[in-house]
Amino acid sequence: MAAPRLGTPGLRVLGSKWHPGRFFTPGSEPFCSSAATSKSLNAQRLAEKLRAQKKEQKTKKIPVPTNPVQRRVQELVRFTQQLQRVHPNVLAKELSRGILHQDKDLVVINKPYGLPVHGGPGVQLCISDVLPTLAKMLRGHKAEPLHLCHRLDKETTGVMVLAWEKDMAHQVQELFRTRQVEKKYWAITVRVPVPSAGVVDIPIVEKEVQGQQQHHKMTLSPSYREDHGKMVKVRANRSAHVAVTQYQVLSSTPSSALVELQPVTGIKHQLRVHLSFGLDCPILGDHKYSDWNRLAPQKLSAGTLKKLGLHQTKTRYIPLHLHACQLILPALGSRTQELLLACKLPHFFANSLRRLGLEMPNQDQGRGSEARHVEAQ
């Protein structure tokens, strides 16, 4: 019987017997081995190349503009836009590094600037999206997601309370709703409130602003108005909400002030509205409530612009200087004592204080303490 012939030209089977399926000679083994080695080397080179590129990106320095105004804008952007376009895992990791307090019931974080608490139209990343990841980082992969206990505005920084269990979150929410939580905010204002301490007790209502840019804003709905030199009571707006804010000037210059705010109520944008429309001292960086009729970058005096190192055309880069610096939670659950939660100022806030020549009291000591200069971090 003739030996079978293979269809591959130049390939011969040695020996008198042919074994089905045996198409390669021993000489083919080095070929397979070298191919595998080649693939391994290529993968290794690619991995090394990617590591080198990543290292280069980390060490590569962003060119520093020679123009001082451009340098200042770059500084503001760096301080305020670090976490707005990152991967959710990166944000969760950053939040875990800045935890202010953690126990078996609560986790208290330092909310960064520019991140909304909830999702919505146009929102790519928010705090609530990363709560499942944050919980796993703190308690392992089987951990249930954390729950929000209250909210802060997108542009507000500072103390924010989360709960491990939904029932505990509801209990903390009830404390906020019944005004049993003592809250303190710090704000830098344009101009100085007069008097230097007091209470703003003016209802707030949401209205539509007519004009080229139709939009809605919260505004004051006072119970009295002046008529020929006399105060006349007006009919209450049914849509208005009772809003009460206690304030005190901690430090001031002729054109700006550091103000401590204690909201008694919790109405949307209450602090911003009371300061801007009630005391005629808008918060630095409040581009929405600095002018009732339009949405535009905040207008600042020449002296303030000079101190901040900016031109009027660049004021849109100034962030809102409103910081939730302290919360005091009453005894709750297994905790028999009240819990004081404090948070340091963000970098951009401390830098603005230094530039404007404002001082602040020690956060640990609270009101009535001696003032000290702020060192920007």
Characterize the bridge pairing of strands 244-252 and 197-201: antiparallel
Q: Which of 41-55, 59-73, 305-319 has the highest mean pLDDT?
A: 305-319
Predicted confidence at residue 371, as pLDDT, reads 43
Cα–Cα distance list, 349 to 146, 192, 249, 325 (Å): 29, 17, 16, 12
pLDDT, mean of residues 164-185:
96
pLDDT of residue 3: 52
Interstrand relation of 224-227 and 215-220 (parallel, antiparallel or unpaired): unpaired
pLDDT > 90? residue 140: yes
| Whole-number Cα distances in Å, 326 to 97, 158, 363 | 19, 8, 9
The arithmetic mean of pLDDT across residues 217-241, rounded, is: 86
Helix then strand then coil, in percent of the chain rounded to 5, is 30, 25, 45
- The larger pLDDT score, comparing residue 370 to residue 259, is at 259
User: Residue 62: what pLDDT?
Assistant: 59
Token pair for 67:
């123009």
What 3 state SS string does 131-166 have? HHHHHHHHHCCCCCCCEECCCCCCCCEEEEEEECCH
At residue 334's C-alpha, the angle toward residues 332 and 337, to 5°, is 60
Q: What is the value of pTM for the model shown? A: 0.79
**167 catalytically annotated:** no
Beta-strand ranges (E) seen in the chain are 101-102, 106-111, 147-148, 157-163, 182-190, 197-201, 204-209, 215-220, 224-227, 230-233, 244-252, 256-263, 322-329, 339-342, 359-361, 371-373
Per-residue confidence (pLDDT) for residue 370, from 0 to 100: 40
- What does the domain layout of the chain look like in residue ranges? 68-226+234-352
Structure-token pair, residue 371: 């003032």
* CA pair distance 324, 339, nearest whole angstrom: 15
- Per-residue pLDDT at 41: 67
Residue 168 has pLDDT above 70, yes or no: yes
DSSP per residue over 273-309, as a string? HIIIIISS-PBTT-TTTS-SS---PPP--HHHHHHHT
Residue 329's CB is within 10 A of a number of other CB atoms, namely 22
| pLDDT(15) > 50 | no
Does a cis peptide bond (omega within 30 degrees of 0) precede residue 195? yes
CA dist list (Å): 126 to 115, 122, 130, 196, 345: 6, 11, 7, 37, 21
Find the catalytic residue in 129, 153, 201, 291. 153
Dihedrals φ, ψ of 129, to 5°? -65, -30
% of residues, the chain, pLDDT over 70: 83
pLDDT tens across 106-134, in order? 999 999 999 999 988 878 899 999 999 99
- The per-residue pLDDT for range 237-246, each reduced to its tens digit, is 889 999 999 9
Structure tokens given for 270: 């209450």
* pLDDT band for position 226 (cuts 50, 70, 90): confident
Q: Which residue from 299, 324, 321 is spatially nearest to 80, judged by alpha carbons?
A: 321
pLDDT at 310 > cutoff 90: yes
Residue 30 — pLDDT band, cuts 50, 70, 90? Answer: low
Mean pLDDT of 149-160: 95
Residue 334 has pLDDT above 50, yes or no: yes
Give the angle 323-324-328 at the CA atoms, nearest 5°. 160
Fold of 68-226+234-352: Pseudouridine synthase (3.30.2350)
The larger pLDDT score, comparing residue 1 to residue 316, is at 316
At CA 149, angle to CA 172 and CA 215, rounded to 5? 130
CA 163/CA 130 separation, integer angstroms: 14
